[in-house]
Chains A and B, each alone.
Chain A
Amino acid sequence: MTPEELDRQIAEASDPARHPWDGGPAAVSRAKQAILDDLRPVRPLPPDWALAVGFLFLFAIFAGSSALALGMYGVHVLSGWQSVLIFTILAGSAALAAVACVREMRPASGSPLGAAALACAVILFPLVFAAVFHGYGTHDLVKQGIPCLIAGLCVSVPAGLVTGWIIRRGFVLSWSRAGGAAGTLCGLAGLGMLELHCPNLIAIHVILWHVAVVLISGLLGFLVGRALDAVNNR
């Protein structure tokens, strides 16, 4: 069978005359009437770049203000190049997560990036921390780690709620994807706060407990989104 024959068969099978559109079946006419009855002018969403900058601003506000409240002990013990490296990568990851959030707000706005942002963060940061910090002793690992994990999540959860509220301004097709993207961005805010606040530079502590904030937030966001999808589709 030649491509032309195949094209012809498809064209014949999908010929509108086979399934004529009779000016609109009752169901569609009802939808049309409902739409026309509810017609009000709407304000289009702000441009994507403005939304992305807004999400980045939110990330910086949550990370910065919570670190200020808890004390900026971490940033003082970091050397210049360590700070530049860590905070540059943090800003880049947050920008990726912010774009992922924006893409979830509008249908047909590009490939989803939430999973990529989460994967990038949980792979890249352990590598960077392993290169920058030293020490893999497990003494007091859990005792020192749990407070960092809790503090990080205490920043990321409220940040996630605010981010979700903003994302809701758009039209979300998949809340599980949107939740994953928002969770990653807010987990990065928690990580940012920890890098500014926590003076513990032992590599295993930072890799395990600080990065866990991003991972847990991303997964939590995904699970909450999935529950919302299930409720919406009930």
Chain B
Amino acid sequence: MVETGSAPAAAPAAELGSLMSGYQQSDQGAAATFIERVSPLLHRYFLARSSDREYAEDLVQETWMRIHKARHTYRSGEPVLPWIFAIARHTGLDNYRKRRRLEAHERQVDVLPEPSAEQPAAGQTAPGIASILRDLPEKQREVLVMLKVLGMTIDEVATATSSSPGSVKQKAHRAYEKLRGILSAGAGMK
């Protein structure tokens, strides 16, 4: 159940590795292809965590800026996806903190009611995977998104999240248990 590979990756890992190496060597074609191949994955990753499409696009853009600054830290021959998603998850985390701080500041100044982060507002897309996963704890949701939405392996997720494969399996198992309970309860109510 916690096995991976249910979602096809945008390109085989080896191909992404060679494109990344080309990007490091300033090969324009390799860099452009690499961005085109990886952007949809990043977009799906951020959309699965927030149903706000515009916000997800901003995060993809910011992640690319960070990847560009960090490109010398990628080591040729190593899997690219864990390296990319280690950067992406920190970009998401930093932005989440920044957004919360700004919201708190705005509330202090304007005393406006707190907007719900979970409800899609005007201009946002219909709820999809983000709404299914929204009741999961952040770490379980992250693991499930990487495994099931992006099709990463357990080892890749462990590397991207700086944890052990055992911990990833445990989080995925707990996420499944919880999701099953939530979705079964939802189906029962219908």
- A137 to B147, alpha carbons, bound, how many Å? 59
In the assembled complex, which residues on chain A have CB atoms less than 8 Å from the CB atom of B72? Answer: 42-45, 171
Tell me if A9 is interfacial: C-beta within 8 Å of chain B: yes
For the complex, count residues of A whose C-beta is within 8 A of B. 47
Q: Which of A4-60 contact B (CB under 8 A)?
A: 6-7, 9-11, 13-16, 18-19, 21, 24-25, 27-28, 30-32, 34-36, 38-45, 47
- A7 to B4, alpha carbons, bound, how many Å? 11
- Cβ contact of A36, chosen from B31, B58, B71, B144, cutoff 8 A: B31
CB distance from B185 to the nearest CB of A (A): 10
Tell me if A189 is interfacial: C-beta within 8 Å of chain B: no
A39-B128 contact, Cβ under 8 Å, with A27-B57, A44-B24, A44-B75? no
Q: Please give me the residue from chain A that is nearest to B125 by CB atom.
A: A19
In the assembled complex, which residues on chain A have CB atoms less than 8 Å from the CB atom of B61? Answer: 27-28, 30-31
Give the contact-size bracket for chain B.
35 or more
In the assembled complex, which residues on chain B have CB atoms less than 8 Å from the CB atom of A174? Answer: 90
A32-B35 contact, Cβ under 8 Å, with A108-B86, A171-B69? yes
Tell me whether B73 and A31 are in contact (CB under 8 A): no
A39-B31 contact, Cβ under 8 Å, with A1-B183, A30-B61? yes
Contact flags (1/0) for A79-105 with B, using CB distance below 8 Å?
000000000000000000000000001
Tell me whether A108 and B159 are in contact (CB under 8 A): yes
In the assembled complex, which residues on chain A have CB atoms less than 8 Å from the CB atom of B159? Answer: 108, 110
Tell me if A74 is interfacial: C-beta within 8 Å of chain B: no
